[in-house]
Each structure stands twice: as structure tokens, then as C-alpha cells.
Amino acid sequence: MARRRLDDDGQVRADLLGDALARSWQRCLVGGLDARAAAAPHASSARHAQAVARAEALVRHAAPVLEAMRPQAEALGAVLLLADASGTLLQSVGDDGFATRAQRVALRPGACWSEPLRGTNAIGTALVEQRPTVVLGAEHYLARNAFLGCIAAPVFDPTGRLAGVLDLSGDRRRMSAASLPALQALVCQGAAQVARTWFEAAHAMDLRVRLHRSRAGLWSPAHAALAFDEAGRWCAAEDIAREALAPRPGVDAAALLGVGTEELHAWAHDAQPREVELPGLGRWWLRVDPAQRRMPTVAVAVEPGPREQRAVLVGARARLDDRGYVLLRALPDPQLRSFVQTLHEIGPRRDGPWREVASDRWTTAASAMQGLQDMQGGTLLLTGVEALPLPAQAVLLTALDAAACDLVLTHASPLGGPVLAGRFLTDLHTRLSAQALQ
């Protein structure tokens, strides 16, 4: 009906579309977008590589969430998509059959799904509205996208800026009215988890405060999260906390929470929930997560070199830098393995696990997570790091940020080409290259 009114008299009916979609259709109409356009811009591998490089932090923190949600997408015969703030699609996981159908309308990594290009669609419209958006079938402004059912939710970075969108897209016929609330909740929770993981990684060295009206809610996705520096000054807040508390730059914990800095530090030691009176907001439950104190990470980088260089004794080619990294150059693999095992056995992580892994075993983010999940407090020797796929790279970088294990890697230096080609995350390359002896 809304389509017929648009075709017949050029009118957009809010009573048929709802306010948000009516605003979107009106923007498309005013922008001169042809609703009956037979073609749309194709995906670009070059654009994709550039977009992934620009949005590497978003990609890194979203990769584990996409993998965790993959089974639900596959069961629905749908795909999960990650887009940056411009609407460019960065990643896609889910049902291969539907992914093939979606390629007919360029719904794949490398394509831009901004509203001005693609009309009303969940990704582009969620970016404009900055809130969860559902677009089903003929609600898409472009008629050629009417077979799609799409649910999207915005993702915000630790500073509160819009970073991108998480989207679930599938066949409209498989998204019943009864299933929509659960599917929308799934997507919104996924987007919130990406933001939460990103926030916690960015403020791992700060005091992180959880707030909720109920004690049990402190462990739910709906809790409010804030970060305070060592002096007790507020430095960041997630969107829930920003809406509830409206913190001002430089405000301290006493003014915002009614709790002094000394109390925050003391409460961080036992991490027990406490009920507090927030100024002007009544009784809330509060829990303080302590700032992390990372142990120095042992990292060994091996650079290829002439045979005679590779024959030198270990001790002549090793040194400790000012961050506690062990740096090596041009050691044969047997010597490397022996050296790293010795470091593990005499080092602070000697009671943790030791493992040697070839990167070709980490073909996905899921396999990377499985390979790292029991390495807490241990030492990992990773070979062939240049062959890691992008999702596995994101998981590895997240593990490095969390200092879950000592990382030992080989041949980290020849990664410039893959970085330039968009096959290797710039953040990970920077992290690994900083650990290599130049």
C-alpha cells in the first residue's frame, strides 16, 4: 500500500510505514533516489580492504561476537553483517545459500549500504536514526530489495561515537511477526556486546564501575558501565550510563556517584556489590571492577636471514627491551622452540600451559578462540602468523590486549605486503612489529 501511494501520487504515508521508516522514505524521495532502479553499485575489494583497515578496532571486537551468533544466523538461513559508520560492509557470516542470493543486490563485504545509495534499509537507516531498525520486504525503498528482511542495531565506540552497525539479513518470508521480537533482541544484544567488549578493552587500566537498579542486573547486558582514572575522575561511559547519569567532562566519582575515590579503590579489591544512593537518582547497586595490571609479555620475533646468521648462539641474539619483551633475530626453529620453552619454565608463567600452534590451524575466529581459551597464564608459540585470516587476527589481538598469555611468534617482520593489501590488520601488525628487533 505504501509503495502504491508513492508510485501513484508521490506521497509517503507515516500511518502505513511508521515514523522512522516514513522519515527515511521522505529522505530518499527528496534525494531523488529512483525506487524502481534496476541496478545498484557493486561491491569493491579495494574499498573493502581500505574500510577494514580504517575500522580495525570495530572489526577486532566484533569478530568473536559474529562467530558466537553464527549458529542462529545459519539456523534462520540468514547472514550477519558488520558495517562501518559509512555503511560499508566489513564482514559477513552465516548461511552460504542466502549469502549467494544476497550477492545479487551487492549485500556483501565491500559494498556500501548507506541510505543515500540503497534507500531505506536496516543498515543505512540505523546509521541515520542511530537506533535499532527493522525493515521488512516492501518497506525497503528500492523495490529490488523487497525479498530482504533486515534487522540492524548501531554500535558505539568507547567515546560514544557511532562506529557502525550489526545487521541480520535474510529472506523476508522466514521472519514472522512472532519471531521478530526475539530476533531484534538478538541483534541488539550482539551490538551491545561488541560495544561492551570494546569499552572494557579500552579502559582495562581504569576503574570500571557497573550500575543497575537491581543486584542481579549488575551481570546483565543492561547494566550501566563507567570508567574512572586513578584519581577518581570520570573518563568514559557506555551509552546506558550516559543516558542515565549524563556525566560531565572532569567530574569526579564523589559528585557523580556519591562515592569517594578511596572508597572506589577499596571496593575494587573485593569486587562486592554494594547499594548506594546516587545523587538525584535514588538507590542503585554498584560494583567496581579493578584496573588490570598486566604482566610483561614475552614475545619472540624471528626474522629470516642468511644461514650463517641463523647459526649463532641464542644468547648472542637475545635481549630484553624496556617493556619486558624478549627480542630475537634469525634463530632456527629448533633453537627458537628450545629457547622459548626455557623462558616459559623459568618465567612467571611457568605454572601455566605451554603450546606450539601453526596458524594454519586457526582458519576462523572460532578456531582461534578455541586455541586461546585455555592459554590463560601460559605461553603460546605461534608460527606462520602471516597466514592468519582476518577474523582470527582480530581474536589474537584481543587476547594480546587482555594479556591472557605470553605470545611467541615467528616471522613477524615480512607483513608489510599483506597489510597494504588489506589481508592483515594494521593494529596487529603494529603490535607485532613493535616486538621485533629491527
pLDDT greater than 90 at residue 312: no
pLDDT of residue 162: 94
CA-nearest of 95, 87, 103 to 152 is: 87
pLDDT of residue 90: 95
pLDDT of residue 44: 81
Q: In 373-425, where does DSSP find H-type helix?
A: 390-402, 416-420
Indicate the CATH number of 2-184 among 3.30.479.30, 3.30.450.40, 3.40.190.10, 3.30.420.140. 3.30.450.40
The whole-number average pLDDT for the span 186-209 is 86
pLDDT of residue 23: 92
Give residue-wise pLDDT tens across range 321-368: 333 334 444 445 565 666 767 666 766 667 777 777 777 777 777 777
pLDDT greater than 50 at residue 318: no
pLDDT greater than 50 at residue 436: no
What's the burial of 67, exposed, middle or buried (CB within 10 Å: 0-12/13-18/19+)? buried
Average pLDDT for the chain: 78
The whole-number average pLDDT for the span 231-251 is 80
pLDDT of residue 304: 40
pLDDT of residue 421: 61
CA quadruple 83, 84, 89, 93: dihedral sign: negative
CATH-assigned architecture of domain 307-433: 3-Layer(aba) Sandwich (3.40)
| Helix (H/G/I), strand (E/B), else coil: 154 | strand
Contact at 8 Å (CB) between 20 and 125?
A: yes
The whole-number average pLDDT for the span 376-384 is 72
The whole-number average pLDDT for the span 387-393 is 79
Residue with cell 541488539: 188
- This prediction's pTM: 0.66
pLDDT greater than 70 at residue 59: yes
Higher pLDDT: 387 or 421? It is: 387
CA atoms within 13 A on the CB side of 331: 25
Give residue-wise pLDDT tens across range 257-291: 888 888 888 888 877 888 988 888 889 999 888 77
Give residue-wise pLDDT tens across range 131-171: 999 999 999 999 999 999 999 999 999 888 899 999 999 99
pLDDT of residue 168: 97
pLDDT greater than 80 at residue 190: yes
| Helix (H/G/I), strand (E/B), else coil: 356 | strand
Residue with cell 544466523: 73
CA–centroid distance for 396 within its chain: 12
pLDDT of residue 34: 87
Cell numbers linked to 136: 521488512
What are the boundaries of each domain within the chain?
A: 2-184, 206-289, 307-433
The confidence band for 8, taking pLDDT boundaries of 50, 70 and 90, is: low
pLDDT greater than 60 at residue 108: yes
Helix (H) or strand (E) holding 236: strand 234-237
CA atoms within 13 A on the CB side of 423: 11
What phi and psi values does residue 339 have, to the nearest 5 degrees?
Answer: -60, -45
Cell numbers linked to 8: 501513484
Higher pLDDT: 290 or 25? It is: 25
Q: In 324-363, where does DSSP find H-type helix?
A: 333-346
CA-nearest of 66, 111, 118 to 92 is: 66
Contact at 8 Å (CB) between 200 and 64?
A: no
